[in-house]
Amino acid sequence: MGIHGMLLVVQISLLGLIISSIMVAAAASLAKFDCPNKCGDVEIPYPFGLKKGCSLNEDFLITCDNEVAKTGDVTVKNISIENHQLRVLHFVARDCYHQHRSQEYNEPFVWPSTFIISQSRNKFTVVGCDTYAILHGVHNGEYYSSGCLTVCKSLHSVRNGSCSGCGCCQVAIPAGLRNISMEVDSFNNHTNVSDFNPCSSAFIVEKGEFNFSSNYLRNMSKEMLPIVLDWTIGKETCEEAARNKTNFACKRNSECRDHFSTKLGYQCSCKPGYRGNPYLYNGCQDINECEHSAHNNCIKAKNCVNTKGNYTCRCPKWYHGDGRKGGEGCIPEPFLMLKIAGVAVISLIAILVISFWLYFLIKKRRLIKLKEKFFRQNGGLILQQQLSTMEGYSETTKIYTAKDLKKATNNYDASRIIGQGGYGVVYKGFLQNNKVVAIKKSKTVDQEQIEQFITEVVVLIQVNHRNVVQLLGCCLETRVPLLVYEFVPNSTLFKHIHHASTISWETRLRIAIEIADALSYLHSAASIPIIHRDIKSTNILLDDDFTAKVSDFGTSRLVPRGQKQLPTVVQGTLGYLDPEYMQTNQFTEKSDVYSFGVVLVELLTGQKVLSLLRPMEQRSLAMYLLCALKEDRLFEILEKRIMDEGNTEQLKEFAKLAAKCLEVKGDERPTMKEVAIELYGLRQMKHLWDNDESNFMEETGPVIGEC
């Protein structure tokens, strides 16, 4: 393997480690992404959640009141994903006698139907010396009752720690019991205050959490005790739930099982070899059994190889077998294999010597042919033909060598990546003269990608405008084509609007003017008119002074003189696409005007182009603005800082201009030159405008659809 191959292997390995780290970090949390996962000291794993949208449904919604987690009125102390159990607290039911008889009863304990009293973890317990108690509930859809009684004549007959019927009794709880209530009473009247047993108590308690003592016969001081509930998803079996895949709760690398007792509802768990939360998409992560020798039985730890959900044990060279303790182990190969290996080594050495001798003889010729091959594959002949028909451009476009660009990007180091798109990856590069550039490397070399590459070169070498990213040159002698642009350091307009939102209104207005000026130049001032076809805020770059630069001409088209529209396959970004273009497949310069109108609305509102949070008819940002204008509530949708900084009349006119750009019919939209002139006028405005907007809808025409 050559040096280039070794470097490629190292890069792929590093990338794999990075991806693995990200996946492990994402899976570390058991809660849904961007949801709170704690109430007090109680962890809240998904499918439970502390607010709507963070839980699977309302049955799993946990309230957090003063750092106390509750489901309904029941206090939650612990939630287990592995065992599918909740540990909760409930009150002790009492029947007490004083000088005047007083009885205390508890209301039935009600929780969501997905929660069931755990048969294996709880006991129904009764404490008293003249006491009987009955446990009521619903079992298998029918009313159910069970109980026990306890009698003792004095404290001498009571044994601490024993609930065998003297002072304390316990009975098991049937599987699948729901909607419980308890009834406790005494056979006799104990109004005598000297009586040693004035109270009778009944409760369900987690096994091991209640240790009977004779002191409880005088005073049962405990108000609440823990019980354990089983929980399931819904009331369907695994087979029934799996049919409806969109609502099936068991995610990747998990398996489903029906609840063992009720067969109502199902539970999810990670497959063997995985651990985590089976209810999250990437919740079940592979266990690396090779990290700890306790998790694998390989003869040697270094020979352990982790696989998805399992592991294998390798044997050293010249050995074979399963490599496991207690298994086949590693068995030496027969001696004959050593002889064969020796002959193979000698033969290999001879072949290598001959190969190197032939290699140096034909190296020079191969390199020349390889460069010519790449030049043809990367569209060099097409580009030469295009440049020859365009006077003066061939001298201004620099051709870089592969060595220059490899050095500039530190061998295309992943840390130098500054952007990725549908057609390539963009690297930050440093040329020998310390000039910073952006280098675009295509992802593949199929014919469609080559056509996009040549299109972008032909378009950009004709453009000379301060608000359009400048093409400095290209490289054709590599396996994939490369373009070299000026470097624009301050990221995209999209990031500054939607992530940082620190741009002032004055700067936003200037940016809008600069974009409009650039598009006007492309449409009408360039030597051959150019339609961009993908105007959006992610394709507007900003420099350190927030000067706008239009970028990404991979889908652009040159328009022959005298031709107003181009028939094309619909291509672009949802939310920015011209509705007329989507219906007719005819792309015109007015389609760029529509996309620019959407960018104007982004500058005004600071909102995303498409949002499921808005009503159905207003999910499109264009419709959102048009509806707001129609209903005279423009200022309700503007970004707050824009309202604080901008002149209201100026903002109204800006919005009206955006609405003109968003007309359904392209013929009713202004040209980019007219848009640029109107934006310049808005910026130069120095007097107060008339507040009468009654004729606005007549000026702008009908909106798209109904609000």
Do 504 and 607 sit in the same domain of this protein? yes
- Is there a domain that residue 407 lies in? yes
| Percent of the chain residues past pLDDT 70, beyond the cut | 82
519 in the same domain as 480: no
Domain-embedded: residue 144: yes
Could you tell me the sign of the dihedral formed by the alpha carbons of 601, 605, 606, 611, in that order?
negative
Beta bridge partners of 567: 586
Contacts of residue 533, defined as CB under 8 A and 6 or more positions apart, other chains included, come to 555, 556, 557, 568, 571, 572, 587, 591, 592
Residues 422, 419: Cα–Cα separation, whole Å: 11
Q: Give the residue numbers annotated as catalytic, written as ranges.
A: 534
The answer on 454 and 572 residing in a single domain is: no
Residue 49 lies in a domain: no
pTM: 0.47
Give the three-class secondary structure for 479. Answer: coil
> Do residues 132 and 212 both lie within one domain?
yes
Annotated binding site for ATP: 441
**Residues 496, 478 share a domain:** no
In a domain, 281, yes or no: no
Same domain, 523 and 651: yes
| pLDDT tens sequence across 151-169 | 888 778 888 888 988 999 9
Q: 525 and 647: one domain?
A: yes
The chain-wide mean pLDDT, for the chain, equals 82
Whether 284 shows a pLDDT value over 70: the answer reads yes
Judgement on whether residues 527 and 640 belong to the same structural domain of the protein:
yes
Q: What is the DSSP letter of 162?
A: -
Q: How far is CA 26 from CA 251, 275, 439, 461, 648, in A?
A: 15, 13, 32, 44, 45
We report the CATH number of the domain holding residue 443 as 3.30.200.20
Question: Over the Cα atoms of the chain, what is R_g?
Answer: 38
Domain end call among 185, 205, 231: 231
Over 90: is that where the pLDDT of 198 sits? no
Whole domain around residue 177: which residue ranges?
85-231
Task: Encode pLDDT of 245-264 as tens digits.
Answer: 788 999 999 999 998 766 67
Residue 107 pLDDT greater than 80, yes or no: no
Looking at the structure, do residues 641 and 696 belong to the same domain, yes or no? yes
Residues 601-612, mean pLDDT to the nearest whole number: 91
What does the pLDDT read at residue 4?
Answer: 46
Same structural domain, 551 and 652: yes
Select from 202, 231, 260 the last residue of a domain. Answer: 231
Q: How many structural domains is the chain composed of?
A: 3
Greatest mean pLDDT among 1-5, 213-217, 233-237, 604-608: 604-608
pLDDT value for 558: 63
- Residues 662 and 704 sit within 8 Å (Cβ to Cβ): yes
| pLDDT at residue 562, rounded to an integer | 55
Least confident of 21-30, 367-376, 655-664: 21-30
Q: Which has the minimum average pLDDT: 179-193, 306-320, 607-621, 690-704? A: 690-704
Residue ranges of the annotated binding site are 441
Residue that is last in its domain, among 231, 258, 278:
231
